[in-house]
Amino acid sequence: MLDTICTAQSDIVEAYRFVRDRSLKLIAPLSAEDTVVQSMPDVSPTKWHLAHSSWFFEQFLLSSQCGYEPLRPGWQFLFNSYYESVGPRHNRVQRGLLSRPTLAEVIEYRHRVDDDMAPVLDRAASDPELAALINLGLHHEQQHQELMLTDIKHVFSVNPLEPSYQREAPFGLPGHALPMRFVRGSAGIVEIGHHGEGFAFDCETPRHRTLLHPYEMADRPVTNDEFRDFIRDGGYRTPSLWMSEGWARAQAEAWAGPMYWDAQAETEFTLAGRREIDPYAPVCHVSYYEADAYARWAGARLPRESEWEHLTETRVDVDAQLRAANFADAGFLHPQPAQRDEGLLQLFGDVWEWTSSPYVNYPGYKPLPGALGEYNGKFMCGQWVLRGGSCVTPVGHLRASYRNFFYPPDRWQFMGFRLAKDA
Amino acid sequence: MLDTICTAQSDIVEAYRFVRDRSLKLIAPLSAEDTVVQSMPDVSPTKWHLAHSSWFFEQFLLSSQCGYEPLRPGWQFLFNSYYESVGPRHNRVQRGLLSRPTLAEVIEYRHRVDDDMAPVLDRAASDPELAALINLGLHHEQQHQELMLTDIKHVFSVNPLEPSYQREAPFGLPGHALPMRFVRGSAGIVEIGHHGEGFAFDCETPRHRTLLHPYEMADRPVTNDEFRDFIRDGGYRTPSLWMSEGWARAQAEAWAGPMYWDAQAETEFTLAGRREIDPYAPVCHVSYYEADAYARWAGARLPRESEWEHLTETRVDVDAQLRAANFADAGFLHPQPAQRDEGLLQLFGDVWEWTSSPYVNYPGYKPLPGALGEYNGKFMCGQWVLRGGSCVTPVGHLRASYRNFFYPPDRWQFMGFRLAKDA
Amino acid sequence: MLDTICTAQSDIVEAYRFVRDRSLKLIAPLSAEDTVVQSMPDVSPTKWHLAHSSWFFEQFLLSSQCGYEPLRPGWQFLFNSYYESVGPRHNRVQRGLLSRPTLAEVIEYRHRVDDDMAPVLDRAASDPELAALINLGLHHEQQHQELMLTDIKHVFSVNPLEPSYQREAPFGLPGHALPMRFVRGSAGIVEIGHHGEGFAFDCETPRHRTLLHPYEMADRPVTNDEFRDFIRDGGYRTPSLWMSEGWARAQAEAWAGPMYWDAQAETEFTLAGRREIDPYAPVCHVSYYEADAYARWAGARLPRESEWEHLTETRVDVDAQLRAANFADAGFLHPQPAQRDEGLLQLFGDVWEWTSSPYVNYPGYKPLPGALGEYNGKFMCGQWVLRGGSCVTPVGHLRASYRNFFYPPDRWQFMGFRLAKDA
Amino acid sequence: MLDTICTAQSDIVEAYRFVRDRSLKLIAPLSAEDTVVQSMPDVSPTKWHLAHSSWFFEQFLLSSQCGYEPLRPGWQFLFNSYYESVGPRHNRVQRGLLSRPTLAEVIEYRHRVDDDMAPVLDRAASDPELAALINLGLHHEQQHQELMLTDIKHVFSVNPLEPSYQREAPFGLPGHALPMRFVRGSAGIVEIGHHGEGFAFDCETPRHRTLLHPYEMADRPVTNDEFRDFIRDGGYRTPSLWMSEGWARAQAEAWAGPMYWDAQAETEFTLAGRREIDPYAPVCHVSYYEADAYARWAGARLPRESEWEHLTETRVDVDAQLRAANFADAGFLHPQPAQRDEGLLQLFGDVWEWTSSPYVNYPGYKPLPGALGEYNGKFMCGQWVLRGGSCVTPVGHLRASYRNFFYPPDRWQFMGFRLAKDA
């Protein structure tokens, strides 16, 4: 379904159905109770994700229609995430206090939205602007599909019973020790940013010139085994390796390894429950601070996002990599060891890769008009760019120019990293 | 069923079934989602109450048996409330983070406990000590039945949709303005504390002598209308009426009326949703600070618990009042106006009544031996005694010597008060 | 000077000079910098104590005079402690943020107050009500003199350099192991409360009847050596000995011994710097929770304040004990071992003694009229009574009916305890 | 004295004396009490600045000498700021809890450091590396001289008495309305970073190539009057103008104008006490969030640091501007209106200018070796670059390549901004 999401206006009906159905498939393993809990402020209850991604269509596609009545009074307030222009909203940290609407009511709401969207989808066939807006809603829902998985993993992790999302998780792929090779990129003025064909978020635009200094980038992410060397070598006890605020956070929260790892660095909590750590899989659930400290320890650095994007665009068959990547639809829902031994590996899928680039606007950036301008632009302060996608990203959601962004201490997403060096 | 709970050992099987069934009846109006939420640290999820009150039987009656295996591994940790002697336990403030066990699993656990209790109940017929322990477990469960209602009220109150627990709430009883009359008690040395017949918690013992100074006590609790006079007269803006820490709390949380009242003092949130305030019903959901400030404003004071108990024991037919009181089983689940015009009214039911007595041990007090000694004794610091029971107390749970206790700022229980004076 | 403070109206001029001078003598060992710091919310800077105790005279004796102009504009706001009726005031927790007025300016202000008080003192000779008010101001200042010492001890204790208030501290008195003997009190109805002669705070009144149950009280406070036995026996690791909220606090703050003790229970921080712990001196700087836990461990309990007061009034020569007690003016500024071997020892001085009595009003209690009614009455919720005075209490400040009060977790005052038992 | 600090090794003795003396001159208007207070976590007491800047010389120049003994035991712990490699240190937020060492003791310590530095200064004449280290210590002390002024301003501002640092503040310079003109910079690949001559911090290096997109930059900072237009136009009530976390902070702290302004935007607190706001002076004490929101409101943006540096280096006589700038030594200690009408104005002095550049390392950046590598490098996460210096910066401290950095919500430094635009 990769192409469905990214391309043709004529396929919008099919894409809509595919994406919307996929959200409901994701909750199959969950009880109604599971969909209520907010285990920390960053996490949203599953029920909230289901409602909010439907609210997005109601708000931005249905509510502008003549004669529109809110489908469920009061729900706009509950399921607006952060759109100040749209009106007041429920306090984010209190999402877990809402037992109502129930999961069944939320699902019924989704169906009503879908029913009301039918004529809109029809009109979109001949209205490119409308189609673009629907497409935005679908990519938005895909983002929440990823969050549903990262969030439920956290919800389950704080339960001493350690429930499992995947009752029958597939066996992991076989791995083996691969040397880390560095690939040299071309320096000089290059272009990055979305090239304009197919869907992109506004923050990926405009395509613009940037200056690359001589550099090289690792052919694959850092693995669990490599990260264990850092731990054993006292990485978490050596302040000179860390950014000042990273060190402070690591001390305050007593970090001694990636999130979800046990104290012995032997097992990790996964969506299939507690499992042995695969030494050859990319390390996951580390903060920017940990990635940066590891890189310093290794005598390297994190890549700039411009380096990552340009090298990816010029050195690999992006479509082929996207098709082969370990995304959510592969069913593992966990990073897997690299499966090939040459070229740039695992650029997409498995783990989001922290870069050394603060998330700021590109030269000439213009946010979308109106409330949708709040989608990305207002977050361009204090966060860091990650590239490439993870094992819980929906297939069909990504591009080489895709910019994900989180705060430096965040660890609950499927975050890893790859090294780079000045050349 | 009043007598079932309080009396004969031979009825223990029937009492057990009655109390245990009642817990499940209480959740009939709830969705699975409703049973998950912890809306503030003092509140426990319904699911937790159901499991904990069963854990109590497992821990104190089943686990001591030879060959015992925990019914569900890990659940002892989750559902131990505060018994340090029994072992470690889940952090109280995180009860709302547990989606598992699900409600269905908890109910199934209840049934397994009940099955395993059957032979124990049989043995209790000829073992008074065993019967006493079971009786304690039943009164414990009744306490949690009351908490299930107070807690779900709070859970629903923080939801902007304001859900209702009672889909078809009964009409309230008719009320009318009643003059407040003061009844003079006898001064001198009197006896208070449980007299020894039937069940009592350890904190009600021993019966002991105490000295009463001349006093009189109001014939009924303060009503909503009376409390509105206090508000209108600037009671919440007059620091000289308040205890210092009460004033600080009222300012910090911007109190301007009882909990659950709107800013205009016209409607209140109830278990049947938002309703108009009944002017003649006892004011409810006020803290000790507010009760004490009102009393000072009214030129009166709160009664001492010894005054309340002695006057009740000597002036009314306690059994008759208990039978007639507005307890949970009357179905209102909300305080009602007084229905008679003479004698001491509403001593039981409707609202718990704050006294001016700190909750400390009686002279000669001995806690129960072992872990059950933690039931009451370790809380005798910082809390205040309330007397009389509320509209959500289960019928059959109370006595004249019953001592309830909460912290001075607590308001989410069904708390009101009655005035007293030196005579 | 004992009598000066407590008695004759004619001596008011001398008493005023004595008390006011004493405050300034207390700061002799301090630098200007020392008088600025607020090391925790409960502590006030020395400079603040000096100014506030003068403000008290300005507010309650000077400001009511015709033609009065504030001595220093804005200072009323800064140095009002908690009198809501008098007007708004500076936030208590921010007292340490004020570098101005400087110490020199505060001392100059004191002198101006003293100058303006001269004619008032003259008038007081023939105006008993005025004299009473001045007397209250002097006892108020004495309370702050005690606080100046307890607070500067805390200020110095948080400084890693561990400065000393007493450059040349006197050697401690010699001690030896004394058996603990219990003295039996008389049961039945007795009278407690201030008898009306001389000064007393309103909370000590009215003298009233109370009922004592048979009891006995230890002849001396618990010593450091005895408290070390409690520690060695795992007292701080045994939850069943503790009140629930005491245990929670002890865990949260990792208590393993009295405040100011080192981890090995060998040395303690004193006003003369770090010193070896005297095994025979009363244990000091323990909370109510610790005192109560120790008593439970020892198979005893804390005395009720009525027991303490009645036994003191009927069994010892109060005046003689007051004269012989280790108060601040003895110069030790630290609890000393008992110096006699019979009778009730150390009832006054050395350490304040926690009782098991919540600080509530006596039957018939009436606070002072007006703003001075806020002096004691509004604190009668949540605190516990201590009796007897400490090694930093000014001589001449105490009586048998004196009620001091602090919150259960407080430890920075010179607090110890004595055991009691049901008899 | 501009050249003293930046240049010849032979002048190091004179530079040392000049800088060290200047610190002591800065405290002339202060009482000992003023030097104790820490009014918020970001602020350090004056006494601490004086001791820490001396500790820097002791630690990095004296302690490496053979036979070295700490000048004052325990002070290394107290006055180490953030050098993890050097050893443990006192908790930053508790600096205001230290009354000792007193100011006099700190000054005496400074003199002892100066005495011990004398032979080191002599050796530096023939040891360029040593001279460089001393020079670093002097620039470090200059940074703390600026902080002493910004911090004491905050200390005085939280005091309701509003003390003044400048007893006789000079009249401000006359201002008038100046149109804002935009100066176009040259696009393409340019070089920025320190050119290698004279002193620079490691974060200004290496000089490197960067790509500028067509842009123009305002000839002067935004003024108070212009900022008042933003306020009047609802700038603080319009979320669409703000970064998301800026908006959250502004709401949480109820920002309605720059720090130190009154609610009517008429007066501001200055080092000379409360003064009327000069309409033509640059706005000061605004956060990055406010600067960024203003720029968005004005249809502009903040300049990138590369744009600022390149335009400055190529369009103005930097030395002349540095000589003419309103730095601390001009005595105003407050931003002044622009005094000329053409060219780029107020690039240096008056207010630090927020740029749109996150503070990250330059390509090829290498921190200093050893503990001094912690000086800048570990802060390259989460902060934003400011350029140009302020009215409290010591003369002789600055360069065109100078990078100052603070967190986006910081406002207590003398921070303003200048607009830029894409061209």
Mean pLDDT of chain D: 95
Asked if residue D234 and residue D139 are part of one domain, the reply reads no
Asked if residue B189 and residue B86 are part of one domain, the reply reads no
Q: Is the per-residue pLDDT at B384 higher than 80?
A: yes
Q: What are phi and psi of A259, to 5 degrees?
A: -55, 145
What CATH number is associated with residue A268? 3.90.1580.10
Give D98-123 pLDDT, tens digit per residue: 999 999 999 999 999 999 999 999 99
Q: Of the candidates B114, B140, B157, which is a domain's last residue?
A: B157
CA-CA-CA-CA torsion sign (B352, B356, B358, B363): negative
Give the pLDDT band of residue C167 (cuts 50, 70, 90).
confident
Residues lower than pLDDT 70 in chain A: 1-10
Facing residue for A381 by CB, picked from D82, D211, D243? D243
Cis (ω within 30 of 0) for the bond into A170? no
Single out the residue of A386, A287, A280, A393 nearest to residue A333, CA to CA.
A393
Q: Of the candidates B157, B174, B192, which is a domain's last residue?
A: B157
Facing residue for B99 by CB, picked from A37, A100, A101? A37
Which of A81-85, A217-221, B116-120, C265-269 bottoms out in mean pLDDT, i.e. has the lowest?
A: A81-85
Q: State which amino acid sits at residue D301.
A: R
A94:B158 CB<8 A: yes
Flag whether A19 is in a domain: yes
Asked if residue A247 and residue A394 are part of one domain, the reply reads yes
Gap between the Cα atoms of B230 and B20, Å rounded? 42
Which whole-number Å values give the CA distances from A294 to A218, A232, A354, in the listed order? 14, 12, 12
B381:C245 CB<8 A: yes
Gap between the Cα atoms of D270 and D162, Å rounded? 9
Q: How far is C97 from chain D (nearest CA, A)?
A: 6
Gap between the Cα atoms of B141 and B30, Å rounded? 19
Chosen from D31, D33, D151 to mutate, greatest number of chain C CBs within 10 A: D33
Q: For residue C100, list chain D residues with Cβ-Cβ distance below 8 A.
A: 31, 33-34, 156, 159, 161, 163
Q: Is the per-residue pLDDT at D391 higher than 70?
A: yes
Most confident of A89-93, D164-168, D403-407: D403-407
Helix-helix angle D288-297:D224-232, to 10 degrees: 70
- Structure confidence at residue A7 (pLDDT): 47
Q: Which residues touch D394 (CB under 8 Å, ≥6 apart)?
A: D19, D22, D142, D145, D146, D327, D328, D329
Asked if residue B231 and residue B149 are part of one domain, the reply reads no
- Structure confidence at residue D67 (pLDDT): 87
Asked if residue B194 and residue B128 are part of one domain, the reply reads no
- Structure confidence at residue D9 (pLDDT): 54
Residues on chain C bordering chain B, Cβ-to-Cβ distance under 8 angstroms:
82, 84-85, 189, 208-211, 213, 239-240, 242-247, 288-289, 292, 356, 358, 360, 363-364, 373-374, 378-382, 408, 422
Give C38-80 pLDDT, tens digit per residue: 999 999 999 999 999 999 999 999 998 888 999 998 999 999 9
Q: Which residues touch C31 (CB under 8 Å, ≥6 apart)?
A: D32, D99, D100, D102
Contact criterion met (CB below 8 Å) for C78 and C51: yes
Flag whether B36 is in a domain: yes
Nearest residue of B to residue C241, measured between CA atoms: B378
Flag whether B307 is in a domain: yes
Gap between the Cα atoms of D253 and D231, Å rounded? 16
Helix (H) or strand (E) holding C217: strand C215-218
Give D2-44 pLDDT, tens digit per residue: 344 544 556 899 999 999 999 999 999 999 999 999 999 999 9
User: Are there at least 3 beta-carbon pairs closer than 8 Å between A and C?
Assistant: no
Contact criterion met (CB below 8 Å) for A255 and A236: yes
The Cβ of residue B188 has, within 10 Å, a number of other Cβ atoms equal to 12
Q: What is the DSSP letter of A61?
A: I
C358:B356 CB<8 A: no
Asked if residue A114 and residue A231 are part of one domain, the reply reads no
Chosen from C100, C108, C167, C274 to mutate, greatest number of chain D CBs within 10 A: C100
Q: CA torsion, points C367, C372, C374, C379, in degrees to nearest 10?
A: -70
Mean pLDDT of chain B: 95
Asked if residue D262 and residue D132 are part of one domain, the reply reads no
The Cβ of residue D392 has, within 10 Å, a number of other Cβ atoms equal to 26
Task: Domain count for chain C, please give it.
Answer: 2
C244:B379 CB<8 A: yes
Query: What would the mean pLDDT of C145-157 be, rounded to a whole number?
Result: 98
Asked if residue A141 and residue A212 are part of one domain, the reply reads no
ipTM: 0.95
Helix-helix angle D46-57:D103-124, to 10 degrees: 30
Gap between the Cα atoms of C201 and C375, Å rounded? 9
- Structure confidence at residue B277 (pLDDT): 97
Which whole-number Å values give the CA distances from B42 to A93, B143, B147, C382, in the listed order? 18, 15, 10, 19
Helix (H) or strand (E) holding D288: helix D288-297
Gap between the Cα atoms of D258 and D288, Å rounded? 11
Asked if residue A116 and residue A63 are part of one domain, the reply reads yes
Cis (ω within 30 of 0) for the bond into A409? no
Give C126-148 pLDDT, tens digit per residue: 999 999 999 999 999 999 999 99
Facing residue for A99 by CB, picked from B31, B94, B100? B31
Asked if residue A139 and residue A41 are part of one domain, the reply reads yes
Gap between the Cα atoms of B25 and C65, Å rounded? 70
Single out the residue of C78, C41, C43 nearest to residue C58, CA to CA.
C78
Percent residues over pLDDT 70 in chain D: 98
How crowded is the C-beta side of A96, counted as CA atoms within 13 Å? 26
The Cβ of residue C46 has, within 10 Å, a number of other Cβ atoms equal to 28
Flag whether B169 is in a domain: no
Q: Which residues touch D223 (CB under 8 Å, ≥6 apart)?
A: D279, D280, D281, D282, D283, D337
Cis (ω within 30 of 0) for the bond into B206? yes
A56 alpha-carbon distance from chain centroid: 18
Gap between the Cα atoms of B298 and B420, Å rounded? 10
Single out the residue of A176, A171, A173, A206 nearest to residue A191, CA to CA.
A206
- Structure confidence at residue C108 (pLDDT): 98
User: What are B190's strand-pairing partners?
Assistant: B210
Residue indicated by tokens 């807690």: B151
Gap between the Cα atoms of D11 and C304, Å rounded? 77
Q: State which amino acid sits at residue A158.
A: V
Cis (ω within 30 of 0) for the bond into C206? yes
pTM of the predicted model, to two decimals? 0.96
Facing residue for A161 by CB, picked from B35, B37, B100? B100
Domain that includes residue D349, residue range: 182-422
- Structure confidence at residue A172 (pLDDT): 87
Where are any strands of DSSP class E within B68-207? Answer: 182-185, 188-192
Q: State which amino acid sits at residue A252.
A: A
Nearest residue of C to residue D47, measured between CA atoms: C33
Asked if residue A191 and residue A148 are part of one domain, the reply reads no
- Structure confidence at residue B172 (pLDDT): 87
Which whole-number Å values give the CA distances from A31 to A103, A160, B124, B215, in the listed order? 9, 17, 39, 58
C240:B380 CB<8 A: no
Flag whether C171 is in a domain: no
Q: For residue C193, list chain B residues with Cβ-Cβ distance below 8 A.
A: none
Flag whether D328 is in a domain: yes
Single out the residue of D192, D197, D205 nearest to residue D355, CA to CA.
D192
User: CB pairs below 8 Å between A and D: how many?
Assistant: 78
Tokens of D163: 């003390």
B122 alpha-carbon distance from chain centroid: 30
Three-state DSSP class for A242? coil
Flag whether C202 is in a domain: yes
- What is the bridge-based pairing of β-strands B215-218 and B420-422? antiparallel
Give B271-284 pLDDT, tens digit per residue: 999 999 999 999 99
Gap between the Cα atoms of C298 and B244, Å rounded? 35
Flag whether C89 is in a domain: yes
Where are any strands of DSSP class E within D186-312? Answer: 188-192, 208-212, 215-218, 267-270, 273-276
Asked if residue D191 and residue D54 are part of one domain, the reply reads no
